[in-house]
Structure 1
């Protein structure tokens, strides 16, 4: 991750926020214990590569990203939520690339 790019941290509840370990999350969420750094270049990577729930207050596309995450990382059967093929191909063992 570049020094000028966005920074992400995760809480002990598995939620990803914009922010730094030193300053905490941009949304002001508090927690007991330390924050963990998330090495991601953007919000999408932070949610999808680390299987973290996006904070609805400091992650702009939280609703969309939460649906994509559920689509590829959970046993929940989702309708077409618009999950990009790159994420489905990377994490969905049953994805074939064919439309049903």
Structure 2
């Protein structure tokens, strides 16, 4: 199950994290096994991915995407010093490379 691991940073609202902790506690009591928050989050993600055609899931994804767009727009408008643009997109910025002339046809 965990042979192909990838690390992910997940930022969640406190109330969602609290609900996941409660679920971990209930699962620990019901199963009489230690159930960590990580196990619960992994299970929730896997079960959610099985519901890819569910309208409720799609509506939630849309709400999350719109919230991120709204936050990025507000951050851009608040801005830093005049004329400065910040990269608010996911991922790390890439360095620009100068284009070299094509030397094939010398």
Q: Which TM-score band applies after superposition, normalised by the shorter structure?
A: under 0.3
Structure with more helix by fraction: 2
The structure with more radius of gyration: 2
RCO comparison, higher one (Cα < 8 Å, 6+): 1
Normalising to structure 2: TM-score of the pair? 0.23
* TM-score, with structure 1 as normaliser: 0.24
